[in-house]
Structure 1
C-alpha cells in the first residue's frame, strides 16, 4: 500500500493526494485509538459485570447460609423446596449449591460440586470469609462462591462451608451485550468524526484548490505575482517562493530578449559588410583588387567568428551554462598557459608580455579551470588588443591574506574612471577603446565580470602604473584553497 510505503520510505515514496494523506493520517490513527479504547471499555465493563454478578452470587450464598443451623449436634440446612427451585435454576442458566458440615460431610446440595482450590485467596471486596473461583461442572464452566459460615449451639461450634455456583450463560449474554453496545457506539463515533474530518479537510484545502485553478488558468505570458491572501499563513512562504521564481523568470526572459536584440544588432553589421564585400568581389575583374577584397573578407570573417564565440560564451555563462563548482585550480598555471597561447599576437605587435607569480606561493582556487582560463584569456587578449605596438602587458598572480589576487595591467589608452562601471556591461565600449580598436566587440569585460561573480569575486578597474588600464580580480578566501602549512 502506498501509504505504508510512504511511512517506511518517505524519501522515495510518491506523495500522492494531500487530501487522501490527511484523511488517512487523521482517520486511521483515530480508528486504532478507538479500537484500543473499545477493548479497554469492554474489559472495564466485564470487570464491573463480574463484580455485580459476584455480589449477587454472594447474596445467594448468604441467604443459604442463614438457613444453616446446628440441631442435636448436627449441621442441618433448612432449605424449603421453593427456595431450592430458585437456587437450582435461573432464567439464563443453572445454579448449584452445596452445604458441607463441620467434619466435611455433605449436609445438602450437590455432592460432586468442585471443591475450593487451595491457591484461591479470600476476597477483600466484602466483609465475609468468601472466595470466588472458576471450575467445570457437568461439562459447563461455572463461577462458584465459597463462604465459611460459623455455626454453634450449646453442645458444639464450628465452621460450615456453603458453596453456590452458577453457569456463565448470564455473564456471557451480558458480555455480548456490552461488547455490541460498545462497538456500536464507537463505530457511530468514528463515522461521525470521519465525516467531520472529511468536510474539514475539504474546507481547509479549498484555498489550495483555488490557487491551483488560478495558476492553471493563467496565460503563458502572465508571470505576475500570486496574491498571498488566497492561501493560509503556513502556505504563504510557498507562494512567496513561487512569486520569487516567476520574478527571476521575468528577469531571465528580459535578459534573453535584450541579449538576442543586442546580438542581432552586433551581428547585423559584420554580416552586411561580408555581403557587400562578396558582391564587390563578384564584380571585380582585377586579380590584385580581388585578392585585397578576399583579404578583407577573411578579416571580417575572423572578427565575426570572434564576436560569435564571445556571444556564445556570454550566453552560456549568463543563462545557466556555467558553474563555479569544480576542483582546485592553480591560477598561476592558468595564467602561464594563457601567456603561451597569446604570445604570438603579443610578439607580432612588439608588446612585452610578462607574468609575475611568487615562486612557491599557493595560488590555488576552487572553480572550473575552463571558466578561469576564459577569464584570464579575455583580460590578456583585451590588454594586447588595446595596447599600442611596443607597449607592455603585465599579468600578476599572488596569494594574499584575503585570497588569491589576479592583476592584468597594460600601457594602453586606459578607460576614464566615470566609465569603469559601464564597460562591464555587454556591448558597451569606451570612447578611448573605440579609437584604439574600432573592430572590438565590447564583450570581453562583461564575460570577465560574469565568470568572476560565479567564483565569488568581482573585477575592479583602475589606472595602471604605465598609464593604461589595470583590472584586478580578488578571489576571496571562502572560494580559495586553504594556505599550505609552512
Structure 2
C-alpha cells in the first residue's frame, strides 16, 4: 500500500481541536478569498466601464473641436475660443490639453509639445471614427489622449488633419477610488453577513452533537444502554452505532465479570470453609496420628483450592482476550508433545496408557498464542487422565482434517451423555458421569477449552471415542484466529 502524501500525514498528525472552529475556518476563509477575487474582478470591470465612459466623453470633446477645424485660403485653421475650452474642462472635470496638426504636420493650434501618437497604438473599434486612445506624460502628469483623424477640404485642397485632445486623470482616479471603496464596503458587508449566517448554521447543525455530548456526560456509570440514533444526523449515526456496539460489549464484559466474581466466590467458599473446619479440628485434636490425618486432609483441600484458583485465573484471562499477546504461528504438534511429557508421570502413576500421534510441525502450524494453546491441550489431557479409570487409555492426536489442523483427545472413561454435551461447556457444570468418577473436580476444564478455541477461531465438538469414552475434537481455521 502506498504511503499517504506528506500533506495528509501532516494534517493527520495535527490535533483535531474544535469541530466548530474548523468548520468556520474552512468555510469562511475560502469565502473571504473568493470574495476578494470577486472584488478584484468587479473593480476591474468597473474601471473598464469608467474608462469607456470617460473615453466616450473625451471623444465627444475631440469631435466638437474637429468641427471647428476648416480650410481657409489653402490652409488648415482651427477656431477654438477659450469659452469652448472652458466648457470642455467643465464637462470632463479635469484639465484639457489639445493640439490641431495640419496636412503637412504643422501645429495649427493648441499645445505644440503635446505627446505624439505612438506607432503601436491601434485604432479603436468601439466608435465609428478614426480615433486612437493612449496614455502619456505631459507637464509631469499622466494624461489620456484621444487622437482623431479629421478629413478637411475645399475647392483647392483635400487632406486629413489630426486633432488631439488630452485630459488629466484626476477625475478618473477619483472615480476609481470611489469605486474601490464602494466595492470593498459592499464586499465587507457581504462577508460579515455570510460569516454570521455560517456561524449560526454551524451552531444549529452541531446542536444535536452537543445534546449527544450532554447525554453521555450526564449518564450514570452503570447506564450502558444504547443511545437513540435519531438524536443525531444521518452522517453521525454510524459513530453512534459504533458507540452502542462498544457499550454492548462493555455490558457483556461487566456481566461476565459479575458472573465470574459470583461463581468464583461461590466455588472458593466451599474449600475455604472445609479448610477452616479442618484447621479447627486440628486445633482441638491431641492424638498425633489423628492430627497427621487432619493435616493431610488440609493439604489435599489446599491443593484443590489452588487448582480451582488457577483455573479461575486462566478463565478470567481468556475472557479478557488472552492477555493481549499477539498471534503468531505455533506448531500444535510440538505443543502436544510438550503436554504429553508433562502428563506422562500422572498417567503412569494411574496406570493409564497415554499415546501421542502427531504430524510434522510444519503441517500443524496454527496462528495463535502458544501459552493458551498449551493450556487448551493440557486441560483436555488432564481431564482425560482424571476421568479415565486405572488401566485405561488416552490418545492425543494432532494432524490435518479437510485441509485444516485438527486436535483430538479421546479416552476410555465414562464419557458424557449426548443431552449433556452442550451443558458441560458452561463454567462449573459437571455431568453426572464425571461426578461419580471425580467428585473433587471444578467443572472449568471444558469451559476453558471452549473459550480458548473461540479465541483462536476454532470449532469444538464432543463425541464418543472408539474406546467408549469421550472424544473432544478441536479444528482450527487459521483465517479466523485472533490477532
TM-score, normalised on structure 1? Answer: 0.94
Q: What secondary structure, in the 3-state scheme, does the structure 2 residue paired with 1:408 have? A: strand
1:400 aligns with 2:401: yes
In structure 2, relative to structure 1, the CA distance for the partners of 1:258 and 1:173 (3 Å cut) is: same
> In terms of mean alpha carbon deviation, does 223-232 or 389-398 score higher?
223-232
What is the rounded CA distance, in whole Å, between the counterparts of 1:210 and 1:95 in structure 2? 71
Separation in structure 2 between the aligned mates of residue 208 and residue 358 of structure 1, nearest angstrom: 58
- 1:484 aligned partner: none
8 Å CA contact retained: 1:148, 1:159: yes
Aligned equivalents of 1:287, 1:209: Cα separation in 2: 76
Measure the CA separation in 2 of the matches of 1:88 and 1:270: 119
Alpha-carbon contact 2:85-2:96 (below 8 Å) kept:
no
Stretch of structure 1 that moved more, 276-285 or 171-180: 276-285
Partners of 1:96 and 1:109 within 8 A in 2:
yes
**Equivalent-residue separation in structure 1 for 2:38 and 2:9 (angstroms):** 26
Unaligned 5+ segments in structure 1 are 481-486
* Paired residues of 2:57 and 2:92 also in contact (CA < 8 A): no
Mapped contact 2:321–2:455 kept (Cα < 8 A): no
* 1:370 aligned onto 2:353: no
Alignment partner, residue 207 of structure 2: 206
**Match for residue 392 of structure 2?**
391
More displaced 10-residue stretch of structure 1: 352-361 or 456-465: 352-361
1:432 matched to 2:436? The reply is no
Give, in angstroms, the shift of residue 478 of structure 1: 1.9
Q: Equivalent residue for 1:11?
A: 12
Which string of whole-angstrom CA distances, capped at 9 and with x for unpartnered residues, describes residues 179-199 of structure 1? 111111111111111112222
1:464 and 2:430 aligned: no
Check the 8 A contact 2:152/2:161 in 1, yes or no: yes
Cα distance in 1, alignment partners of residues 43 and 89 from structure 2: 30
The question of whether the paired residues in 1 share the 8 Å contact of 2:333 and 2:361 is answered with no
Deviates more, 1:469-478 or 1:405-414: 469-478
How many residues align? The count is 476
Q: How much is the aligned-residue C-alpha RMSD, in angstroms?
A: 1.9
2:3 alignment counterpart? none
Show CA shifts across 1:394-431 (max 9, x none).
11111233410111111111000111111111111101
Aligned partner of residue 42 in structure 2, secondary structure = helix
Q: Write the deviation string for residues 252-311 of structure 1: whole angstroms up to 9, x where unpaired.
A: 211111110100010001111111122222222222222222222211111111110110
- CA drift of 1:155 comes to 1.5
Are residue 346 (structure 1) and residue 347 (structure 2) matched? yes
Conservation of the 8 A alpha-carbon contact between 2:101 and 2:107: yes
| C-alpha distance in structure 2 between counterparts of 1:7 and 1:199, whole Å | 30
The answer (yes or no) to whether the contact 2:453–2:460 under 8 Å persists in 1 is yes
Take 1:311 and 1:360, find their aligned partners in 2: how far apart are those partners?
31
- Contact 2:322 2:372 (C-alpha < 8 Å) held by counterparts: no
Other-structure match for 1:68: 69
1:81 matched to 2:90? The reply is no
Corresponding position of 2:283: 282
Q: Indicate how the Cα distance of structure 1 residues 360 and 257 shifts in structure 2: closer, same or farther if over 3 A, else same.
A: closer
Secondary structure, counterpart of 1:354 in structure 2: strand
Alignment of 1:447-458 (within 5 A): 447-458=448-459
Equivalence for 1:39: 40
Task: Using structure 2 for the length normalisation, give the TM-score.
Answer: 0.95
SS at match of 1:10: helix
Question: What is the alpha-carbon distance in structure 2 between the residues aligned to residue 27 and residue 7 of structure 1?
Answer: 22
Moved more, 315-324 or 204-213: 315-324
Structure 1 residue 227, shift from structure 2 partner: 2.4
> Would the aligned equivalents of 1:6 and 1:15 in 2 still touch at CA under 8 Å?
no
Secondary structure at the residue paired with 2:429? coil
| Inter-partner Cα distance in structure 2 for 1:439 and 1:6 | 66
List gaps (5 residues or longer) in structure 2.
1-5
Output the CA distance in 2 between the equivalents of 1:128 and 1:414. 117
CA deviation vs aligned residue, 1:34-77 (integer Å, no higher than 9, x gap): 11111111111111111111111111111111111111111111
Q: Which residue is 1:271 aligned to?
A: 272
Corresponding residue for residue 189 of structure 1: 190
227-236 vs 301-310, which moves further? 227-236
Q: How far apart are residue 82 of structure 1 and its match?
A: 0.7
Q: How does 1:330-341 map to 2 (within 5 A)?
A: 330-341=331-342
8 Å CA contact 1:88, 1:96 repeated in 2: no
Task: Please report how far the alpha carbon of residue 477 of structure 1 lies from its aligned counterpart in structure 2 after TM superposition.
Answer: 4.7
- Distance in 1 of aligned mates of 2:261 and 2:60: 103
**Measured at CA, do residues 359 and 81 of structure 1 come closer, stay the same or move farther in structure 2, by a change above 3 Å?**
closer
Aligned to 2:231: 230
Q: Check the 8 A contact 1:412/1:468 in 2, yes or no.
A: yes
Q: Distance in 2 between matches of 1:382 and 1:284?
A: 36
Matched, 1:240 2:241: yes
Structure 2 CA distance for aligned equivalents of residues 172 and 9 of structure 1: 47
Deviation at 1:83, TM superposition (A): 0.7
CA–CA distance in 1 between the matches of 2:100 and 2:83? 17
Cα contact 1:411–1:468 (8 A) shared by 2: yes
SS of residue matched to 1:235? helix
Give 1:78 deviation, angstroms.
1.4
Q: Give yes or no for contact 2:367–2:478 (8 Å, CA) kept in 1.
A: no
Deviation at 1:441, TM superposition (A): 0.7
Q: Does 1:51 align with 2:90?
A: no
